[in-house]
Copies of this chain bind each other. A is one copy, B any other.
Amino acid sequence: MAGILPPGVSEKTFRGFVAAAQNVVGNDYVFLDPKWDLSAYHDQYATTPKAAHQASAAVAPANVEQVQAVLRAARQHGVPVWTISTGKNFAYGGPAPRVAGTVVLDLKRMNRIIEVNEKHAYAVVEPGVSYFDLYRHLQKIGSKLWIDPAAPGWGGVLGNLVDHGAGYTPYGDHLLMQCGMEVVLADGTVTQTAMGALPGSRTTHLYKYGMGPWADGLFTQSNFGVVTRIGIWLMPEPPGYKPYMITYEREDDLHEITERVRPLKLNMVIPNAATTVEMLWETAVQKQKRDYYTGKGPLPDSARKKIREDLRIGVWNFYGAAYGPPPIMETNLEVIRDALVSIPGAKIYFDEDRVGDIAWEYRKQLMRGVPNMTEYNLMNWIPNGGHMDFSPISPVTGEDAMRQYHLIRDRCNKAGFDYIGEMLVGWRDMHHIFCLLYDLGDEDQKRRAHALFEELIAAAAAAGYGEYRTHLDFMDRIAGTYNWNGGAQQKLHQKLKDRLDPAGILSPGKMGIWPQGHHPGAVS
């Protein structure tokens, strides 16, 4: 039987739950150590000991009825479950539960693509459908619809969306593109939200809000229900696509790039995620650090210079794309050229200029919705590479961009790490993604990475910046920074939690929300 038990649950009760779960999903789909290897549910990149997020078991239902029955068993035995879809939420904890001993509710067997609607341009998927799955299906049926994958294509369409993930096509704000949702509540009730609540509804995936309160957002980044189906709008293939890359010579160019990108995004001259990528991100997807530097600490300037020459990249590298009929693309590209290539030292590149460039190639794919795994090469920058992403949101101003860059880069270098970062400008905000990369075989590095992360949270919050998503280990701490008026919003979340999941069986601790009486303290 399991080496670890859910908190406060006796071995006997746990056995009762396991038997009930086996009865529901069959013995083959209840995973227990040592017979099955629960390491599949580890966070492979954890800076804390594996035991901190060790599951006691995993249960993989095949359909909604089985989800309902598993939740019934969970309620009856007081066993909490941690919901995952494809479990590829790496950098943020992967498939591992927040609290050791929680049973993973693994939905990856529920992998039906329930509908592709070519006419109204949407798909309806279950949690186990990855970007690769959906892409291949659309290709197979000859669809003219694009998907918007997260950078690693093995991610789940539904899971990424409910975690507020972003992509690189004009449909990059995944939650914005959500329409229609099926949720199993903690008490086992299946609910269709919004228009889907009308029996025989013809507009479930066409109009987002329904009538009355719009509750869909409640079931994202939360532990208020188990989302078992989602509608997602897909972009019709445009008549033309022209990606481009602009390189910049100086670190301080980030200020001017950001200032000039803001109106281009606001006016949709750049319709997709306008992404400014620091040189080491570009480098790490295709080179190893030891190719340039074998010393300790961050890469020195001399090596950085050599890399820029070798790879023909800038200190900052801006990616965007034009979409549409040629006259519209040309008009927009002219504006972009005027605005962004006029910064001294800037050079613009198109597809024919970057043949064989790995970094260019995968961004070109992402911006037109072709999933791939290239970005995972980042992990090969150093031996035994692991990573966590620190993801503060920024206004789209040069001042804020520079402030966030220095806030992170300076602390990161001081702690001995390379700054590997990118900034994605959405309609009015900027996602700053700092990929904190460390050697998983080096306990000291892991400790330092963990400490750096904590330091960054505090420094960002003090400067007015909050994170949009985070790793298991920092959920309480970050939730604790959203504490305006005595933590009014968090108290609201807790109230909703208490009402919707009084037994506290759903994903305890997710985003800092806990079952009543089980809060381990505001800061972990």
Contact = CB atoms under 8 A, between A and B. Distances in A.
Nearest to A238: B267
Interface in A229-282: 233, 236, 238, 262-263, 266-267
A220 interface: yes
A193 B489 CA distance: 6
Interface in A141-181: 164, 175-176, 179
Given A468-B207, A485-B191, A175 B214 contact: yes
Contacts of A294: none
A221 B214 contact: yes
Number of copies of this kind of chain in the complex: 2
A512 B429 CA distance: 36
Contacts of A426: 207
A461 B175 CA distance: 28
Interface stretch (A23-31, A362-370, A389-397): A389-397
A120 interface: yes
Interface string A392-411: 01111100100000000000
Interface stretch (A194-202, A350-358, A515-523): A194-202
A328 B268 CA distance: 12
A243 B56 CA distance: 63
Interface stretch (A300-308, A375-383, A493-501): A493-501
A464 B428 contact: no
Nearest to A498: B499
A195 B465 CA distance: 9
Contacts of A373: none
Interface stretch (A79-87, A415-423, A444-452, A476-484): A476-484
Interface string A314-350: 0000000000010110111001000000000000000
Contacts of A328: 327-328, 331-332
Given A218-B214, A496-B496, A496-B499, A461 B119 contact: no
Interface in A88-146: 119-122
Contacts of A119: 262, 397
A28 to B, nearest CB: 30
Contact of A209 (B197, B220, B461, B499): B220
Interface in A207-229: 207-222, 224
A482 B214 contact: no
A171 B44 CA distance: 44
Nearest to A397: B119
Given A192-B488, A196-B484, A267-B236, A213 B209 contact: no
A398 to B, nearest CB: 11
Chain A to chain B: the 6 pairs with minimum beta-carbon distance, closest first: A214-B217, A213-B222, A499-B499, A197-B489, A202-B464, A197-B482
Interface of A: 119-122, 164, 175-176, 179, 185, 189-193, 195-203, 205-222, 224, 233, 236, 238, 262-263, 266-267, 325, 327-328, 330-332, 335, 393-397, 400, 426-429, 461-470, 478-479, 481-485, 488-493, 495-496, 498-500, 511-513
25 contacts: A119-B262, A120-B428, A121-B266, A164-B209, A176-B208, A198-B483, A202-B463, A203-B429, A203-B466, A210-B468, A211-B221, A211-B468, A211-B470, A211-B511, A212-B493, A213-B222, A213-B493, A213-B511, A214-B217, A215-B492, A217-B218, A236-B267, A325-B331, A325-B335, A328-B332
